Homo-oligomer: A and B are copies of this chain.
C-alpha cells in the first residue's frame, strides 16, 4: 500500500514537491536525484530518502512514480525515459518550450501508455476550486469575461530569465492554464503586449517583465491577463469570472488576517510573499490528486494535452507581440 516517489531535481521546486509529499498520506519519498550533491543531500537528510542517479531511479524496483523538477530543457527527455521505464510521471510545466518537441514527447507517452500529469498546481488551489464549482453549478450563469491578475513580488535574477523561455512561457503560462480551466472552452484568438518596465536587465536579456494578454473564444468569451514581475504588496493572484447571472472572484491571501487602524486609515498586511507559501496547499492537493488518479486508474487531472495547449497560448502571445496582430491558436497548433 502507498506509492513510492523519487524526485528528480533538488532545486527550489524540487524542495517544494518533497515538502508537499511529506504531507500526503500514502506517499513516500524514497529517492532524490540531483547532480548538485549538496542540494540532493539537503533533501535526503530532511526527508530521510536515498540519493540516487536518474538512471538508477529509472531501474529502481521500489520507485513507483517520479516528480520531474529538473531544468525545463530536460523535461521531455526525462518524460520519455520514465515513460519507457514504466513509472508514473509527474512533470513540472512546461514539457518543453517548443511545440514540436512537446508533441514528439507526448507521442512516446501515448505509445508506452504511461501515466503523465503536468504540474499546474493552481488547478488544485482550494479557493479556485470553490470558484470552479460555483461556475459548474450555474451560480454565475454563462461565463462571459474573465480577468486574471498575476504579479510576482519581485523579478527573478536574469540568470533565471535567460533560461526561462520568456515571461509568456514561464510566468503567464500558469494564467493561460487557469484561463482554459475557467473558460471551459478553448481560446481561439490571442492578442498580447509586452513591456520592459521593472528591470532593464530583463529587457537586455530579450525578455519582458510586464505582459498583457487579451483572448477570445469561438463563442465570444473574453479573457484578459495582466502580469507583472513586480508588486510591492506581495504575491498578487486574483481571478475574476464574470457571468450572465453574476460574478465570482478569488481574493488575495494576506500574511495575517488582522487590520490596523490609525491616522492613515485601515490597513491589512501585504499578501503572502510568494508562490511556495501561497500555493503550498495546492502543491499538496496536486500530489494527492496524482496518487489518487494513478491508484484508481483514472486519467491524469492535468494532461500532457493541457501542457501543450497552455504552451500554444504562450507561443500565440509571443507571435502577437512580434507581429502586432491577433493570432489564431490554430496557427500555432496547426
Chain A residues in the interface with B (C-beta under 8 A): 126-127, 130-131, 134, 139-140, 142, 144-145, 147, 149, 151, 189, 191-193, 195-198, 210, 212-214, 216, 220-222, 224, 226, 228, 230-233, 242, 244-270, 324-326
Q: How many whole Å from A131's CB to the nearest CB in chain B?
A: 6
- Selected from B195, B221, B249, the residue in CB contact (under 8 A) with A220 is B195
Given known A-B contacts A191-B193, A326-B324, A270 and B266 have beta carbons under 8 A apart = yes
How far, in angstroms, from A147 to B149 measured CA to CA in the complex?
9
CB-CB under 8 A from A231, the residues of chain B are: 242, 247, 261
How far, in angstroms, from A257 to B238 measured CA to CA in the complex?
10
Q: Quick one: copies of this chain in the complex?
A: 4
How far, in angstroms, from A197 to B217 measured CA to CA in the complex?
12
B248 touches A260 (CB 8 A): yes
Q: How many whole Å from A27's CB to the nearest CB in chain B?
A: 15
Subset of 23 A-B contacts with CB under 8 Å: A127-B256, A130-B256, A144-B210, A191-B191, A191-B193, A193-B222, A210-B222, A214-B214, A222-B226, A231-B242, A233-B265, A233-B266, A246-B262, A247-B262, A248-B258, A248-B259, A261-B270, A262-B270, A265-B267, A324-B325, A324-B326, A325-B325, A325-B326
B151 touches A232 (CB 8 A): no
How far, in angstroms, from A131 to B251 measured CA to CA in the complex?
22
- Selected from B139, B242, B253, the residue in CB contact (under 8 A) with A257 is B253
Q: How many whole Å from A249's CB to the nearest CB in chain B?
A: 5
CB-CB under 8 A from A265, the residues of chain B are: 233, 254-255, 267-270
CB-CB under 8 A from A210, the residues of chain B are: 144-145, 220, 222
